[in-house]
Chains A and B, each alone.
Chain A
Amino acid sequence: MFENISLAFQGIWGHKMRSFLTMLGIIIGIAAIITIVSTIKGTNDQIKESLIGSGTNAVTVQLYQDNYAYTISNWNPAPEGVLPVSEETKEKLQALDNVVSVSLYCSRRVDSYDGDVCYGNKSYSGEIYGVDEHYFDAAGYRLRNGRGFLAEDFDSFRKVAIVDEGTVTRLFGGADPVGQILEIKNEPFTVVGVVSESTKSDYAIETYRDYTMYAQNTGGRVFIPLADWPIAYAFDEPQTVILKAASTDDMTAIGQQAEDILTDSQITTNQGSFSYKSDDLMGQAAQLQEFSNATNNQLLWIAGISLLVGGIGVMNIMLVTVTERTREIGLKKAIGARKRRILWQFLTEAAALTSIGGILGVAAGLGLSRFIASAMGTPSAVSYPAIAVAVLFSMLIGVVFGMIPAVKAANLNPIDALRRE
């Protein structure tokens, strides 16, 4: 076996130009496949990362009207017949399997012409949240400056606020806001801290929904204790629920159960077709991944055809090689080489040829995908299983397409083979 491999490499090295041209079909085919697979993997990783973030495992369940998330603002007041979340319901949610914590918050969209939130003579445009003690942890925020909300803030209805970095830029002109006074519905709130999203990633905007999410995210947020919410707004506004799951895989199931509980218990009206829906991020990611896989799988088939063409090229050259080496085969048989040995010699040579082609193809594919990624800004990630499969598959191509030439060689009659000059 080892003899065959070293002989095969001698043969390939002895005809460098021809071997390279023969491999070219395999190199191009494998390079195309590796490029496509790298792009698929890069896209999937990016989708997962940008939608799910890294490990907060938070499922948001919020009020929907038909298929749109219901955003409360002065123009779009809290709907009639939708109750705030009761303690009893909250306990039910906490009792669900694999739920780590449950957090509630109220939110509204405010515009500068409302004058709801002001700093000095500047009116703020963005979102205002009334949050509980679990919120920052569950939603994936990190304290940047100052302090977070304390138990006393909630218990004694302290008028304190926390702002995010978007608000620092827009409302405070980038200056440190801690200790400054915000006027919220004409009540003074002291800014005590600055937070930022710890799992913030730049996402690719592909849909209108992505765009609105992105626009909202960058619009700035002001947080006050949920206990203070009635000071600024009504105390019976419906809340949004954030459930923290034990693992990413539990997110979809928890989201669906929470949807049912909240829809059943909080919505008392048939008017306006309201319901609670979860941001099924896992489901969305899977859908997007499926979509990108479906388009790319077709590309894989096309690349597969180029491998087929490459394999036929290898068969062609191997047939030429067998004809050229008829005398060598005849002599080897005359001095005692069995059929099987000749068969293996040519199969090994074909497989070595295509394996080298496969390895070169992988290298070319990795280089190409990196080049495309940097030139066009598309994501790309190395898939090691794909590399292993590509090299093994190219070896298999050599065995399959080398079979006919190898059988032809093994079946040569030594007398005829030696006579041919």
Chain B
Amino acid sequence: MLLEMKDICKDYPQGREVVKILKDVNLTIGEGDYLAIMGPSGSGKTTLMNIIGCLDVPTSGSYSLNGEDISRASENHLADVRNSTLGFVFQSFYLLPKLSARDNVALPLLYAGVKKRERSRRAEKALEMVGLGDRVDFMPNQLSGGQQQRVAIARAMINEPKILLADEPTGALDSTSGHQVMDLFDQLNAAGTTIVLITHEPAVGQRAKRVRRILDGRLMAEGEGGVGDAW
């Protein structure tokens, strides 16, 4: 299994009380999977996403990624895992406004220690793959929302990650751009990239191969809760 979570719990202290955000979450994801995690706000889906993405560590339970137990890994090791094994796509893109599309896409390679010339070459190739080969020198504010998100996807894919994590990737886009982004995800998955998607939009969730719902910190079994329900 590429990703295996067993009895993951996450508590947050809130004042004197402890709030249980995640309760005994069990999740396995295999190579080439395309999973959508759906749930209303406050259900714990973002916390789950953070733990999957090695941005946060669980309070208890075990998490192994790519065959390695990382539930108690050091901060530096988690940074390296995020850099090499994971790719992130966020709702609001998070492109650095002072860097060109090429330099934004090349940023993870900088942290991986790749030489400058090689970084530029690979970044341009990645931008070509998302259909922005003619926009490499554009600054983020010269690009439309959909184009910016595609730059962000190119950045997420530049290190050829095992898993692409997307948190509401279409949340800030109009429906046409949203469709283009989802089409791109389909292509990437078809090419072998494992994708984990968080969304509350049923139309987006439906494009995944599998859907898991989360409610009040509990991850439901597949098929439970019903696809298409409005929250």
Contact = CB atoms under 8 A, between A and B. Distances in A.
Q: Do A and B bind each other?
A: yes
Contacts of B82: 333-336
Q: Give the most central of B53, B92, B98, B159: most A CB within 10 Å.
A: B98
B75 A335 contact: no
B94 A336 contact: no
A11 B92 CA distance: 23
Contacts of A331: 94, 96
B55 A335 contact: no
Contacts of A333: 79, 82
Interface stretch (B21-29, B83-91, B129-137): B83-91
A341 interface: yes
A147 interface: no
Contacts of B155: 335
A57 to B, nearest CB: 61
A338 interface: yes
B55 to A, nearest CB: 5
A339 B94 contact: no
A338 B98 CA distance: 21
B50 A415 contact: yes
28 contacts: A3-B110, A11-B98, A14-B98, A327-B94, A328-B96, A330-B94, A333-B79, A333-B82, A334-B82, A334-B88, A335-B88, A335-B107, A335-B108, A335-B111, A336-B79, A336-B80, A336-B108, A336-B112, A337-B79, A337-B83, A337-B111, A338-B80, A339-B75, A339-B76, A414-B55, A415-B50, A418-B90, A421-B92
A338 B111 contact: yes
A341 B111 contact: yes
Contacts of B83: 335-337
Interface in A8-37: 10-11, 14
A332 interface: yes
B31 interface: no
A415 B55 contact: yes
Interface string B67-105: 000000001100110111000101010101010000000
Give 4 closest A-B pairs by Cβ, nearest first.
A336-B83, A336-B111, A331-B94, A335-B108
B98 A10 contact: yes
Contacts of B98: 10-11, 14
Interface of B: 50, 53, 55-56, 75-76, 79-80, 82-84, 88, 90, 92, 94, 96, 98, 107-108, 110-112, 155, 159
A339 B76 CA distance: 7
A334 B76 contact: no
Nearest to A325: B96
A98 to B, nearest CB: 63
A195 to B, nearest CB: 72
Contacts of B55: 334, 414-415
A338 B111 CA distance: 8
Nearest to B56: A415
Interface string A316-350: 00000000000110111111111101000000000
Interface string A379-421: 0000000000000000000000000000000000011001001
Contacts of A339: 75-76, 79
B27 to A, nearest CB: 19
Interface in A125-151: none
A332 B88 contact: no
Q: Give the most central of B83, B94, B107, B159: most A CB within 10 Å.
A: B94
B116 to A, nearest CB: 8
Contacts of A341: 111
Contacts of B75: 339
B79 A338 contact: yes
A333 B54 CA distance: 11
Contacts of A328: 96
